[in-house]
Structure 1
């Protein structure tokens, strides 16, 4: 496929900017502006009745997009929230355990999990065991630790946010999952619409957490959780939206809906869902499947890596590529480790080139709005960096 700059004319029209950070803040396609205006117009025109449209049309459309992308048996297993942190907090509150929740995770999880998990440890609410996320034997080490048992919740990323490494065997953890525990939670934020993901065989046993900010191209406010039926029927942290529908619970007690809505909170800004639906519908309409987009990005990554290896991108040749192309799934960004990564990022920013850094790793994210000209412009900018 060719680059689809036409779908991002407004964002690409910003002068003096070369955006090479699609993995971090994906540029918004043009259709999301119309969606944002629609959200405002519905609020103004429909007023109190806007929720009839939000919950009756927009929300189900967003659930359907997720279900089709992930091959879920039912869209009713998908629940949305403003961010993944709130979903994570509600999810942990649903674990039925009198003592600290025993959690197994990796040391490469995103900050929404890392920071909260550290605070839960301090508060005595969880006992946390971490497995190193780097190295070719990650899958074997993590699966072995999980199979040892003794955990209430197992949490791991499909694609690691810093290194871009793909944990392609993460879904094997579904074999361990039980409604009474352990629960398996896969962080799919850097995998959703980046790596083709088919959950049809494991949807009845795993949780899957992701959102619209990255490759779904919708921005903030549209995080989601796939929640398998029978797992966590009564979260302790609960909002009044979780009682809309067919309820179950003890007589006179707090009732919960039977579907994924049991994890809902309270009133939210629906504009993120409008954008999520608009961007997802655009991708489906244009035939921009995850496989097709990943193939386009992989080609550009190969071009860039070849130029780096030849020394044509300045000091980037001295960086270690943490996620080189291989035979398996690949992240939609390059992770380049070097002690001067932060200095390079700053120098590039002064030239109007947008990348980002995580510790000593420079991340370069590509998408369908990039072409060879963008890669060449980035290479030239890097060639001028000081060693």
Structure 2
């Protein structure tokens, strides 16, 4: 079945383009345009009062969608920010020790990798990195205040299989466990109900949630980090009209909020979620559609000089070899968009592709 009708605007914007980078910059469905329009109309019609709707309706709706997707028992544990880097900085600022000892995988995305290396360089943290498969064993030996790992590695697609084992180590006094779910959220069914009270989870709308930039979120377990040092006035939004005294914090996930932000990403996120519900499309069904396309491409025998990295990621195939740059340039010359990380070629799959698109990609690779 084809779902291209849900993406008519994005596909019509460049009819000759074949976009196989859904894992990177997912094309926006038509519903996101309606959400963006709704954000503009609210800004125009409500003016100063728009924040009452944002906090009273838009954010609670987004919290509900994410809580349903992740199996969270309480949507109020969720906070939002324009990007996950903002949320990462607030988490580390809330740790109750001056120089946290941090353990992470050696394949983390740039938002964590760059910041953690700079913190380590400045003496702000003590950092140790290990391969993802060794993380749980190393963490179990103790000695750390923060454990950080991606649910799915951004470069290779390797999945984290020890989420609950890591969560079992977590304590409010440390260690804290932070899962970067950016390449897992809505790419694979995720149920955090058994450990949501012990781990942080980061995610966003830029990739598989199909909502674009500006819709990132944090699930913050109760009792962990009640007073982030890096904070903004939205962290106590309910008391803004009262006399200002001490530095108060919301008792739920809002304690990790920052300051004024562009809420249009959340409008788009909600509009896309409503579209998926109306179409009967959940993460499992979307994954089945993408999985069939991935199997078709693998069976085509394309890219014979590149080694497929197994197991495949939930929504992209990673091929490693010295010809990665050549293949990216060759396909770009034919109007086909894929991306590359050093010698790893990544080919991503989404709802806006069908079997004919995969065949065109395979022919170009032959």
- TM-score, normalisation: structure 1: 0.91
Asked if structure 1 preserves the Cα contact closer than 8 Å seen for 2:305 and 2:323, the reply is no
Is the partner of 1:364 in helix, strand or coil?
strand
Whole-angstrom CA distance in 2 between matches of 1:86 and 1:253:
23
Asked if structure 2 preserves the Cα contact closer than 8 Å seen for 1:156 and 1:170, the reply is no
How many residue pairs get aligned? The number is 362
Is the partner of 2:143 in helix, strand or coil?
coil
Whole-angstrom CA distance in 1 between matches of 2:198 and 2:299:
41
1:243 matched to 2:236? The reply is: yes
- Name the stretch that deviates more: 32-41 or 225-234: 32-41
The residue number in structure 2 matching 1:126 is 125
Residue number among 359, 372, 380 corresponding to 2:355 in the alignment: 372
Asked if structure 1 preserves the Cα contact closer than 8 Å seen for 2:306 and 2:323, the reply is no
Is the partner of 2:260 in helix, strand or coil?
coil
Is the partner of 2:149 in helix, strand or coil?
strand
**Offset of residue 171 of structure 1:** 2.8
**Offset of residue 252 of structure 1:** 5.0
The residue number in structure 1 matching 2:342 is 359
Whole-angstrom CA distance in 2 between matches of 1:246 and 1:173:
36
Whole-angstrom CA distance in 2 between matches of 1:196 and 1:159:
12
Whole-angstrom CA distance in 2 between matches of 1:259 and 1:331:
31
Whole-angstrom CA distance in 1 between matches of 2:248 and 2:49:
25
The residue number in structure 2 matching 1:320 is 307
**Offset of residue 354 of structure 1:** 0.4
1:381 matched to 2:360? The reply is: no
Whole-angstrom CA distance in 2 between matches of 1:168 and 1:130:
17
The residue number in structure 2 matching 1:12 is 11
Structure 1 gap segments, 5+ residues each: none
Is the partner of 2:247 in helix, strand or coil?
coil
**Offset of residue 40 of structure 1:** 0.9
Is the partner of 1:176 in helix, strand or coil?
coil
The residue number in structure 2 matching 1:167 is 160
Whole-angstrom CA distance in 1 between matches of 2:122 and 2:279:
49
1:182 matched to 2:164? The reply is: no
Whole-angstrom CA distance in 2 between matches of 1:24 and 1:277:
20
Whole-angstrom CA distance in 2 between matches of 1:287 and 1:150:
46
**Offset of residue 361 of structure 1:** 0.4
Whole-angstrom CA distance in 1 between matches of 2:6 and 2:272:
10
Whole-angstrom CA distance in 1 between matches of 2:161 and 2:287:
15
**Offset of residue 202 of structure 1:** 0.4
**Offset of residue 12 of structure 1:** 1.4
**Offset of residue 90 of structure 1:** 0.7
- Name the stretch that deviates more: 257-266 or 40-49: 40-49
**Offset of residue 246 of structure 1:** 7.3
Is the partner of 1:317 in helix, strand or coil?
coil
Whole-angstrom CA distance in 1 between matches of 2:321 and 2:164:
32
**Offset of residue 178 of structure 1:** 0.4
Residue number among 202, 207, 213 corresponding to 2:200 in the alignment: 207
- Name the stretch that deviates more: 283-292 or 357-366: 283-292
Asked if structure 2 preserves the Cα contact closer than 8 Å seen for 1:246 and 1:257, the reply is no
The residue number in structure 2 matching 1:65 is 65
- TM-score, normalisation: structure 2: 0.96
Cα deviations across residues 148-177 of structure 1 (Å, max 9, x unaligned)?
101010000111100011112223211000
Structure 2 gap segments, 5+ residues each: none
- Mapping of 1:26-41 within 5 angstroms? 26-41=26-41
Whole-angstrom CA distance in 1 between matches of 2:128 and 2:75:
33
Cα deviations across residues 108-157 of structure 1 (Å, max 9, x unaligned)?
00000000011101111111110123xxxx1xx21110001010100001
Query: Cα RMSD over matched residues?
Result: 1.4
CA shift in 2, pair 1:246/1:70, >3 Å: farther
Asked if structure 2 preserves the Cα contact closer than 8 Å seen for 1:243 and 1:262, the reply is yes
The residue number in structure 1 matching 2:295 is 302
